[in-house]
Amino acid sequence: MITDLTLKDKKLKKIFCDRFKIESKFWNEDNAKAHLLSSTIGLAPRDLIYLLFDVEKEFDIKIEDKYIVSGEFCSFNNIKNIILEQLNTEEN
């Protein structure tokens, strides 16, 4: 059974694959926690801007500035959690 969380996870992995050519199998437990600007992931700061716009478009959400300012928009897992939080906020 595919859960809503699994679908969100797959959509986010597709964004990384389409935009940055990072395959979904790359996102093991350690890599999903790694900072996107680290040598493990290797994104450039400008890539986070593209990622932000891709996520907002794909999930039809607006990421709140507080997530950017606080530095939370920095790893696969954090972004996935932000997406879920934003979607839950917009539903209520």
User: What string of DSSP letters covers 45-89?
Assistant: HHHHHHHHHHHHHHHT----HHHHHTT-TTSHHHHHHHHHHHHHH
Domain with 80 in it: 4-91
pLDDT tens digits for range 29-75? 999 999 999 999 999 999 999 999 999 999 999 999 999 999 999 99
Task: Tell me how many domains the chain contains.
Answer: 1
Q: Which CATH number characterizes residue 20's domain?
A: 1.10.1200
pLDDT band at 92 (very low <50, low <70, confident <90, very high): low
